[in-house]
Each structure stands twice: as C-alpha cells, then as structure tokens.
C-alpha cells in the first residue's frame, strides 16, 4: 500500500506514535523506499482499539478523519482519582461511597448532549506550541481551557462497584478520561478511566482492523 488508509487495532502499552513508526518501517521496507504514514488522532498508551492511519498522498486528508465521531467502551473505577485520569497516574482514595444503580443512571444522563469539559493536563493538546503532557511532566503549571463537546449517547453496559462500564458515542475532541473524572465528581466518589477501547470511527469499525502482527510487526 502506497496511498490510502489502514485500519489498525492498537495494542495496549504502546503510544500512537509507536504504532505509526512500526507501520512506517514495515511499509517502507516492502516498498523499498520511505513511505509516509500518519495518524488521525491519538489513543492513550493504556488504551486499545481502532486507529485510522493515512498512507502516502492520503496524509493530506488526515484532518478529515480526525474530525469524525467516535464510539468507545470504557470502564471507570469509582472511589479513587488518578493524576492522569487513567491507570498510569498516581492514585488517591477519595470515598467508599457505593452509589446505587439508579443514581448512576441518573448521573450518566447528565452527561449526554452538548457538555463542557476540560481536557486532561496529561494530553497531547498544545499549549503555547508545546504538548501539555510534556509541560506537566516538567512540573509546570498547565491551564487548559474548557471546551464544548457532544456526547450523542452514554450507555450503561455494566455496573458492579467499583467498576462502571459504559459505551460512549462522542464528537471529535471528547476526552473519555475527563468524562470519567467529571462523572466521579458528580457521584461524589472520585473516578478514573481504568480501561478504554475505541470501537469505531464514523463508519469504520475495529472488527475490520488489522493487528500489528498481521503486518509482520514483531515489536
């Protein structure tokens, strides 16, 4: 493949840039020349699921794919918070309150439609030309403004305290980690996103994606 898109099911414990680098290496080796490869939106290292990679001339259209709606399945762990909003951060016990099912459903309903959220400081958003996560890791104070996003649906998949699993259909720019934090705040339990999988991007589904091993990537 020299031009077009490639659907990849990203493994956990790998950065999106790591996925791109590995695919670029394999495609370039096959083509006998350097092949241009780009991503259309990062997934956190702990997350898995669908990535759309753009190849060759299609790289110029990366912005089109970035703006598309997405569907995720996520598990939020109640009772604790994380400095990063995910399992990689420093965890703090907040509360042993165990909300009932009806309370959980009622709170989830508050997070559908247009909502305001503040992206995590440990994110790839640029602040004055630098990635927010790099500033945060350097101990610098990071102020990320609120943004308006759309949650088209937020479906309860399973609830067995402390784990709350949801399926979220959201607009581009929505941070599921921020959703976890905000829901935990309203429930007065604290919460962080303990697992995250991207199921689809617009009409593209993770079931149609290739694994890195399918391409011959070994590490």
Of residues 9, 44, 86, 182, which has the active-site annotation? 44
Over residues 53-105, the pLDDT tens digits come to 999 999 999 999 999 999 999 999 999 999 889 998 899 999 999 999 999 99
Neighbours of 63 (CB within 10 A): 9
Helix segments in 32-166, DSSP class H: 62-66, 101-109, 132-137
Which residues in the chain belong to E strands, given as ranges?
4-10, 37-39, 48-55, 70-78, 80-82, 91-93, 113-117, 126-127, 130-131, 147-160, 163-170, 191-201, 204-205
203 by DSSP, 3-state: which? Answer: coil
**Distance separating alpha carbons of residues 73 and 167, to the nearest angstrom:** 4
pLDDT band at 216 (very low <50, low <70, confident <90, very high): confident
Report the predicted TM-score, pTM, of the whole model to 2 decimal places: 0.90
**CB of 51 closer than 8 Å to CB of 62:** no
Over residues 156-204, the pLDDT tens digits come to 999 999 999 999 999 998 999 999 999 999 999 999 999 999 999 999 9
Neighbours of 76 (CB within 10 A): 27
Predicted local confidence at residue 140, as pLDDT: 64
Does the domain at 70-201 match CATH 3.30.2350.10? Answer given as: yes
What CATH number does the domain located at 4-66+204-215 have? 3.30.2350.10
Over residues 130-145, the pLDDT tens digits come to 666 665 566 666 677 7
Predicted local confidence at residue 124, as pLDDT: 60
**Distance separating alpha carbons of residues 136 and 176, to the nearest angstrom:** 19
To the query of whether residue 44 is one of the catalytic residues in this protein, the response is yes
Q: Is 203 left (phi over 0), alpha (psi -120 to 50) or beta?
A: alpha
Residues of the chain with CATH 3.30.2350.10: 4-66+204-215, 70-201
Neighbours of 89 (CB within 10 A): 15
Q: Show the tokens assigned to 21.
A: 């680098």
């Amino acid at each position: 493949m020299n031009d077009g898109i490639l659907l990849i099911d990203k493994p956990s414990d790998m950065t999106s840039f790591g996925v791109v680098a590995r695919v670029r290496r394999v495609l370039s080796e096959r083509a006998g020349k350097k092949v241009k490869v780009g991503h259309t939106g990062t997934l956190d290292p702990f997350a898995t699921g669908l990535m759309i990679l753009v190849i060759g001339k299609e790289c110029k259209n990366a912005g089109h794919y970035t703006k598309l709606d997405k569907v995720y399945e996520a598990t939020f762990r109640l009772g604790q918070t994380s400095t990063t909003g995910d399992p990689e951060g420093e965890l703090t016990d907040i509360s042993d309150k165990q909300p009932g099912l009806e309370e959980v459903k009622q709170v989830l309903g508050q997070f559908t439609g247009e909502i305001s959220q503040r992206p995590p400081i440990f994110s790839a958003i640029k602040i004055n030309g630098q990635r927010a996560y790099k500033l945060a890791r350097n101990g610098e104070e990071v102020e990320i403004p609120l943004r308006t996003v759309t949650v088209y649906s937020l479906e309860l998949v399973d609830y067995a305290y402390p784990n709350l699993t949801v399926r979220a259909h959201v607009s581009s720019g929505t941070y599921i980690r921020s959703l976890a934090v905000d829901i935990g705040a309203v429930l007065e339990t604290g919460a962080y996103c303990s697992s995250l999988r991207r199921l689809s991007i617009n009409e593209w589904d993770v079931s149609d994606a290739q694994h890195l091993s399918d391409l011959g990537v070994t590490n």
